[in-house]
Amino acid sequence: MRSSAGERGFTLVEVLVATAVLAIGLLAALTAFSMANRVTAVSSNDTVISFLGQQKLAEIQALGREQLRVGSTTGDFGPEFPQYVWRLTVHEPSDLNVVPVDLLISTTQAGRKRDTRFTTAVF
């Protein structure tokens, strides 16, 4: 604050600088909140995909090798997870009698398709 002839107060330049600093700070805070929101959504999606993949692979392991048929099948996860679909590919048994299995979980969020692949072997 400057004082001239006994008057006290802020000059116009000081007010403009303070307003600019405040505006930049608020813009940075809003950007950080927006980014945190996006990261949270992606993390939540990754958690759901991981859970669904573990659940489906556990079903496959419980079936056993004898009930697996070579080829591909598709399905969804019911009304609880309508935006997620799966494709299961069972390969020919190897020389060691191990059946390789690929599980692909797909989802579409924000207009982008995203695939996550899980692979296991059934003995």
For the chain, how far is it from start to end, CA to CA, in angstroms? 80
Beta strands in the chain (DSSP E): 2-4, 7-9, 71-76, 84-90, 99-109, 112-122
Report the C-alpha gap between 38 and 116 in whole angstroms.
19
The domain spans of the chain are 2-122
Taking only the tens place, the pLDDT of each residue in 43-93 is 888 999 999 999 999 998 888 888 889 999 999 999 999 999 999 999 999
pTM above 0.75, yes or no: no
Taking only the tens place, the pLDDT of each residue in 3-43 is 556 678 889 999 999 999 999 999 999 999 999 998 888 88
Q: Half-sphere exposure of residue 107, counting CA atoms within 13 Å on the CB side?
A: 20
